[in-house]
């Protein structure tokens, strides 16, 4: 008696699209129930809008020192810069106009337009955080899975290195590395190089926290079933464990970016950054160097502080929302 092989029909494209829309609507519904994520995106959106406004209203040359400005904008006896000639430059700096645009946030002691400095400094600061945070999260996640899944001598060695380095203040290690790097490079330092230096320690946190999750997850029944089905170690990690830990890894990535930005601002405020850049940390450094707070130049020192506070609160709220998404015990239902 002849038998015919039965085949299951493939799911139509409409069902796949419907499933994708349902997942997207479910994610959007969860975001609406999670005020932390919404608050984080709103605050970061304010930073983006402020950067876009500064980019539209200023020109790149406005963010340069007057010594490097075009000849028609350099101060001279016939065209003195008010911040250099007035004992109380507040009103003059606000009213200073170079025939093309007005300095909406005033100028600093170097003659740089503050709004133009923000239009360049915000992307540079965020770039430092993204580079250091990405490298730290990738390296830390790989080491965490290797240590937590395989265990043994590898786990002991990685745990010993992480525990040892975390007992030393990270900012002290970064200061020593940065000074040595500047000596080797002839005193020059770019903000990309600063991001790479910060990334040297950015993997410690992700390694520790992700490893603890891997130790718990590898005891789950579905991981045991994957092993019994013939999967090797890398396959179990990539196909079974990593997808389930991805929300947790994303939350730690946001935290790593925030920590990297904080470290960069600290190093730059000490004068260890890129003097040719306009990052938020270098703006703080110039404020300290020229004593803007003592001299009452509030339009110079207050904007970077406000931007830094909004940026860190936004990243914190976003990380908190991601943590609630990754940890079911922290999810709140409304």
* CATH assignment at residue 315: 1.10.3720.10
Q: Which domain holds residue 132?
A: 114-330
Cα–Cα dist 220/239, whole Å:
14
Asked if residue 239 belongs to a domain, the reply is yes
Q: Does a structural domain hold residue 223?
A: yes
Burial (CB < 10 A; 0-12, 13-18, 19+), residue 300, is: buried
Would residue 3 count as lying in a domain? Answer: no
Whole-number Å distance between alpha carbons of 307 and 129: 15
Rounded to an integer, what distance in angstroms lies between the CA atom of residue 118 and that of residue 305? Answer: 12
Joined together, the tokens standing for residue 321 give 């929302």
Count of structural domains within the chain:
1
- Assigned domain for 151 exists: yes
Q: Is residue 109 one of the residues assigned to a domain? A: no
Q: What DSSP character marks residue 329? A: G
Determine the pLDDT at residue 198.
94
Tell me, yes or no, whether 1 lies in a domain: no
CA dist., res. 204 & res. 110, Å (int): 39
What's the rounded Cα separation, in Å, for the pair 161 and 201? 11
Entry pTM: 0.78
User: Could you give the CA distance from residue 229 to residue 26 in angstroms, rounded to a whole number?
Assistant: 32
Which SS3 state, helix, strand or coil, does residue 232 take?
coil
Q: At which residue do the structure tokens 């085949």 appear?
A: 7
Per the domain annotation, does 162 fall within a domain?
A: yes
Q: What is the pLDDT along the chain (334 residues), one digit of tens a residue?
A: 444 444 444 445 455 556 556 555 655 666 667 788 888 899 999 999 999 998 888 877 777 765 555 555 544 444 444 444 444 444 444 334 444 446 777 777 777 888 888 888 899 999 999 999 999 999 999 999 999 889 889 999 999 999 999 888 889 999 999 998 888 877 778 889 999 999 999 999 999 999 988 888 888 888 888 888 878 878 888 888 888 888 888 888 999 999 999 999 999 999 888 888 889 999 999 889 888 888 888 888 888 999 999 999 999 988 887 777 666 565 554 3
Residue 30: the pLDDT is 62
34 in any annotated domain = no
Segment (H or E) for 31: helix 13-33
DSSP β-bridge partners for residue 102: 97
């Amino acid at each position: 008696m002849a038998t015919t092989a039965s085949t299951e029909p493939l799911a139509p494209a409409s069902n796949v699209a419907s499933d994708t829309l349902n997942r997207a609507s479910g994610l959007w519904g969860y975001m609406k129930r999670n005020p932390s994520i919404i608050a984080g995106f709103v605050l970061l959106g304010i930073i983006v809008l402020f950067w876009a406004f500064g980019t539209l209203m200023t020109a790149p040359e406005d963010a340069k020192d007057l010594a490097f400005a075009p000849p028609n904008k350099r101060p001279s006896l016939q065209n003195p810069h008010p911040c250099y000639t007035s004992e109380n430059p507040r009103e003059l700096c606000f009213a200073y106009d170079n025939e093309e645009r007005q300095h909406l946030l005033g100028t600093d002691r170097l003659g740089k337009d503050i709004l133009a400095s923000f239009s360049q400094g915000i992307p540079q600061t965020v770039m430092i955080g993204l580079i250091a945070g990405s490298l730290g999260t990738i390296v830390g996640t790989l080491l965490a899975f290797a240590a937590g899944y395989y265990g043994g001598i590898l786990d002991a060695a990685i745990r010993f290195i992480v525990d040892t380095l975390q007992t030393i203040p990270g900012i002290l290690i970064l200061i020593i590395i940065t000074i040595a790097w500047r000596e080797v490079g002839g005193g020059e330092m770019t903000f990309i190089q600063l991001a790479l230096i910060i990334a040297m320690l950015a993997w410690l946190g992700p390694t520790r926290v992700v490893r603890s999750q891997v130790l718990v997850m590898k005891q789950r029944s579905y991981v045991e079933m994957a092993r019994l089905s013939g999967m090797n170690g890398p396959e179990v990690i990539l196909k079974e464990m990593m997808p389930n830990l991805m929300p947790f890894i994303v939350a730690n990535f946001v935290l790593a970016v925030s920590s990297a930005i904080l470290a960069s601002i600290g190093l730059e405020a000490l004068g260890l950054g890129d003097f040719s850049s306009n990052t938020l940390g270098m703006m703080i450094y110039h404020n300290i160097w020229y004593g803007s707070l003592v001299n009452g130049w509030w339009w110079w020192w207050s904007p970077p502080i406000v931007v830094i506070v909004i940026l860190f609160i936004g990243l914190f709220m976003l990380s908190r929302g991601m943590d609630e998404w990754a940890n079911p015990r922290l999810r709140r239902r409304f």
